[in-house]
Amino acid sequence: MGSSAPPELERRLQTRLQGDLRPPGGRILYVAYSGGGDSTALLVALLSLGYGVHALHVDHGWHPDSAQWARFCQQQAVALGAFFTLLRLPADTPGEGPEDQARRARYALMAAQLAQGDWLFTAQHLEDQAETLLLQLLRGAGVAGLAAMPAQRPLGAGLLVRPLLDVPQRVLRDYLEQRRLPFLNDPANADVRYDRVRVRNVLLPQLRDLGWPHAAANIARAADNLADMREIAEDWFALRWQRYRADYPELSAERLSLAYLQSLSAAAQRVFLRGWLRKRQISVPSRERLEALQGTIAQGRGGARIQWEGGEAWLRGGLLRAWPQPRATAEKEWEEGPWCAALEKPLPIPGWQFALRDTSPDSFHHALAERFAETSLYWRRRRQGERVLTGQGQHRPLKKLLLEAEVPPDRRADVPLLWDEAGHLILILGYYTSPWASAPHGSTALCLWNAGAQPTAGKGVGST
């Protein structure tokens, strides 16, 4: 007689969801569903436990069979009783390589589906966590990177949840066999051109063969320990940031006092700068570039600029300001022309996306009043001697506004400018949003963000 006990995966998952991880009532629970074994096991286990879920599948379009895989996922999700949404990967997503591009685009697409309070479940397991730590170690990451994947973090207006990080993959495979569940095998999972595949299929097996049979579990446990240190560093920054804002109330969150930074020790300064950049949704530089930035801070030399992959900083007037570095504005690859969000026409600037969604402070790079979703706008570059019509009907030199917005001199000729038909300057992409065009906090707004950052709903770096 067969056992009536629920499978191990369902027991573990139910314990987690009834313990420290309780899904919110009345909100949508999404599952990132690739069709592979891990996400299939998670999707079926949640459904078997009585949770209503909505499967999200991203078609990367990189493989000749990707459309067939998408159809398979839709048929399976519907047969299982789950809702299903197909998302397609944009071709111009920035990133450091194919893996990074796919990850950034995938999360950006799924983030856009989440309403306030929704959850997105992903199926990363214990071995995935160990692989992530090893990859970060080989890249020379700090505590934040070595802490690997957090069990949960904000994503869009909702929350990204990884409930299986302490579950070995064998538990998922056993579940698939017990339930006789069909799933896809992506050939990319065996392609040794990818870093993660080499770690998974070569490095971890070698560690086991060399006498560390529990290498993956121990490495994942180290990630948990380092996550404690990451949390302590985040708490330290939060307290320091609160004190800094109280001591410098006249400065916006986009600017840092050089005098304050110079008062910190070198290590504390690095932790503070990393925390500030993450808060601003700007890519954190490598240790080498961060130390170069510290060198310019120590000198206090006005006009100095430091650039890195995904960001740049500029010292001016005793202040430090930083921005994301959109690939398009750096390489001058965008086209002038009309644009209307209501027509769902994509932005003509690669690397930037838009959506109409609820907002809150400190996230999106630009949040415009909702009325602009229906308005005909147009993008173009600066013209010599140009003047801007303000919301009060006055005219101001664009040159002066570019200076006040602290657009670096070598970017001013090519930075994307968004105008309305009356001649009002709506925004300077990545630097400034006209105060009369900004969306109030907590409202539904037309939001533009750099896809290189993982967006959460909110006001942005360029708003004033």
pLDDT at 223: 95
> What's 315's domain CATH number?
3.30.465
Q: By residue range, what is the domain housing residue 262? A: 248-325
DSSP H helical segments within 90-191, as ranges?
98-111, 126-138, 143-146, 169-179
Asked whether residue 309 falls in the same domain as residue 345, the answer is no
The answer as to whether 236 is a domain residue is no
Asked whether residue 311 falls in the same domain as residue 359, the answer is no
Any idea which residue has 């009834």 for tokens? Answer: 18
pLDDT bucket at 460, cuts 50 / 70 / 90: very low
The answer as to whether 314 is a domain residue is yes
pLDDT bucket at 365, cuts 50 / 70 / 90: low
From 277, 310, 325, the end of a domain falls on 325
Per-residue pLDDT, averaged over 312-317, amounts to: 89
**231 vs 403: which has the higher pLDDT:** 231
Q: Does 55 have pLDDT greater than 70?
A: yes
From 292, 325, 358, the end of a domain falls on 325
Tell me the per-residue pLDDT of 164-189, one tens digit each, with 9 for 90 and over.
Answer: 999 999 999 999 999 999 999 888 88
pLDDT at 99: 64
User: Domain count of the chain?
Assistant: 3
List, as one string, the DSSP characters of 87-102.
EE--TT---SSHHHHH
Asked whether residue 334 falls in the same domain as residue 353, the answer is yes
132 to 120, 192, 400: CA distances (angstroms): 20, 16, 47
- Dmax (CA) for the chain in angstroms is 87
pLDDT bucket at 361, cuts 50 / 70 / 90: very low
- pTM score, whole prediction: 0.72
From 307, 325, 343, the end of a domain falls on 325
Asked whether residue 190 falls in the same domain as residue 271, the answer is no
Asked whether residue 61 falls in the same domain as residue 94, the answer is yes
Between CA 46 and CA 35 the distance in angstroms is: 15
Tell me the per-residue pLDDT of 331-358, one tens digit each, with 9 for 90 and over.
Answer: 467 889 898 887 777 788 877 778 777 5
Residues in contact with 385: Cβ distance below 8 Å, sequence separation at least 6, in sequence order = none
Closest CA to 35 of 7, 63, 6: 63
Per-residue pLDDT, averaged over 418-434, amounts to: 89
Between CA 385 and CA 397 the distance in angstroms is: 7
